[in-house]
């Protein structure tokens, strides 16, 4: 069974710093990997989706990489801002039919 | 374009009761997935519907069921509620549920079972 792990569980950094969030998965047979953010009491917002054939995706200050063979993905956030404070979740799709396996999340706090 | 909407947003039930949650996908989206989020288990996939048919099902007991209507709106039902069913229930929609599509999530329904 696919297991998705995110380390660290929580992270606090001063505003303006660059940071990296990590995601690892046990079964490399995936269709895609997505990064989401979740604000307290809210649903999920999709940040980036990386297809299994891709190595990375970028959106603004966010860059996500995927190394399928080693079962790892990273989310790089440049020049962090207080508005980036949220829980970040990675999820892998193994069936290609929206059956996502989610990680446990990293709670990120940006200190002004 | 309106996002995914879920009703009700909050719900309190007692053990043994049943509950029905509703999800309206983004206009034009035909795939709807349901997830359960708890502090202990995190986010877990319940089931996915496309064109009124269940295409995928997660590892949940038969007390959890769902359906999808011809307008793509979906409902999920939980019968004989247990304390452990207390959770945030999220639904997500996409056009046809293919692997290159992003899923758009609703705000969730928070269910408390007493």
Q: Does residue B2 have a pLDDT over 90? A: no
| Residue of B42, B103, B107 lying closest to A98 (CB–CB) | B103
Chain A residue nearest residue B54, CA to CA: A97
Of A34, A45, A104, the CB nearest to B42: A104
User: Please, are residues A18 and A108 in contact by the beta-carbon 8 Å criterion?
Assistant: no
Q: B4-45, pLDDT tens digit by residue?
A: 999 999 999 999 999 999 999 999 999 999 999 998 899 999
Given this model, what pLDDT does residue B96 score?
77
Measured in degrees and rounded to the nearest 5, phi and psi for residue A78 equal: -95, 145
- Contact (CB<8Å) A98/B108: no
Determine, for residues B44 and A103 on separate chains, whether the beta-carbon distance falls below 8 Å.
Answer: no
Q: pLDDT class for B99, splitting at 50, 70, 90?
A: low
Largest CA distance in chain A: 41
pLDDT confidence of residue B79:
96
Structure confidence at residue B1 (pLDDT): 67
**3-state SS class at B25:** coil
Number of residues written out for chain A: 112
Q: Which residue of A has its CA nearest to B32?
A: A98
Whether residue A100 and residue B104 make contact (CB cut-off 8 A), yes or no, is: no
Say whether pLDDT at B91 is over 70: yes
Tell me which chain A residue has its CA closest to the CA of residue B5: A43
Residues of chain A with confidence (pLDDT) below 70: 96-98
**Under 8 Å CB-to-CB from B38, ≥6 apart: which residues?**
B44, B84, B86, B87, B88
* Chain B residues in contact with chain A using a Cβ-Cβ cutoff of 8 Å: 4, 31, 33, 35, 42-45, 48, 55-56, 58, 90, 92, 94, 97-108, 110
CB contact under 8 A, B42 and A105: yes
Beta-carbon count within 10 A of B12 CB: 12
- Would the CB atoms of A102 and B108 count as touching at under 8 Å? no
- % of chain B surpassing 90 pLDDT: 84
Size of interface A-B (CB pairs under 8 A): 66
- The pLDDT score that the predictor gives to residue A5 is 95
Interface list for chain A against chain B, based on CB atoms closer than 8 Å? 31-32, 34, 36, 41-46, 49, 51, 89, 91, 93, 95-105
Residue B114 has pLDDT above 90, yes or no: yes
The verdict on a CB contact (< 8 Å) between B48 and A44 is no
């Amino acid at each position: 069974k696919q297991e998705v792990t995110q380390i660290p569980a929580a992270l606090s950094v001063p505003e303006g710093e660059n940071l990296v969030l990590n995601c690892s998965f046990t079964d490399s047979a995936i269709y895609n990997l997505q990064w989401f953010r979740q604000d307290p009491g809210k649903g999920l917002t999709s940040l980036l989706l990386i297809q299994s054939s891709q190595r990375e995706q970028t959106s603004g200050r966010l860059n996500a990489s995927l190394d399928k063979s080693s079962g790892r993905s990273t989310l790089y956030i440049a020049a962090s801002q207080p508005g980036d404070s949220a829980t970040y979740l990675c999820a892998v799709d193994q069936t290609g039919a929206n059956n996502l396996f989610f990680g446990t999340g990293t709670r990120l706090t940006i200190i002004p | 374009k309106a996002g995914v909407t879920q009703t009700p947003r909050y719900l309190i039930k007692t053990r043994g009761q049943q509950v029905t949650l509703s999800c309206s996908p983004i206009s034009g989206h035909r795939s709807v997935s349901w997830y359960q989020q708890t502090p202990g288990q995190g986010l877990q996939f319940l089931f996915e519907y496309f064109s009124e048919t269940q295409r995928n099902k997660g590892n949940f007991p038969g007390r959890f069921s769902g359906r999808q209507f011809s307008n793509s709106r979906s409902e999920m039902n939980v019968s004989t509620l247990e304390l452990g069913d207390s959770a945030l229930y999220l639904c997500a929609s996409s056009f046809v549920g293919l692997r290159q599509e992003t899923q758009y999530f609703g705000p969730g329904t928070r269910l408390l079972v007493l």
